[in-house]
Amino acid sequence: MILNRTTEYTLTILGFMATRNEGIYSAEYLCQELKIPRRYLRRLLTDLASHGFLKSISGRNGGFVFAQDLKEINLALVINKLEGIDAICTCILGFSCCIVDKPCIMHEPWMEARSKMVETLTNTTLADLREKYQIDLMKNI
- What is the model's pLDDT at position 17? 96
Sequence spans of domains, the chain: 1-141
- What is the model's pLDDT at position 18? 95
pLDDT interval class at 112 (50, 70, 90): confident
- What is the model's pLDDT at position 117? 86
Task: Compute the distance between CA of residue 72 and CA of residue 70 in angstroms, rounded to an integer.
Answer: 5
The pLDDT tens digits for 42-90 are 999 999 999 999 999 998 889 999 999 999 999 999 999 988 766 666 7
Decide if 95 contacts 101 (C-beta within 8 A): no
What Cα–Cα distance (Å) separates residue 75 from each residue in 10, 42, 109? 10, 21, 23
Q: Please determine, for residue 141, whether its predicted confidence score (pLDDT) is greater than 60.
A: no
Least confident of 24-28, 99-103, 104-108: 99-103
Average pLDDT over residues 6-35: 93
For 65-76, letters b (16+ CB in 10 Å) and e give: ebeeebeebbbb
Average pLDDT over residues 17-39: 93
- pTM for the full predicted model: 0.83
Domain 1-141 sits in CATH at 1.10.10.10
Task: Compute the distance between CA of residue 54 and CA of residue 41 in angstroms, rounded to an integer.
Answer: 13
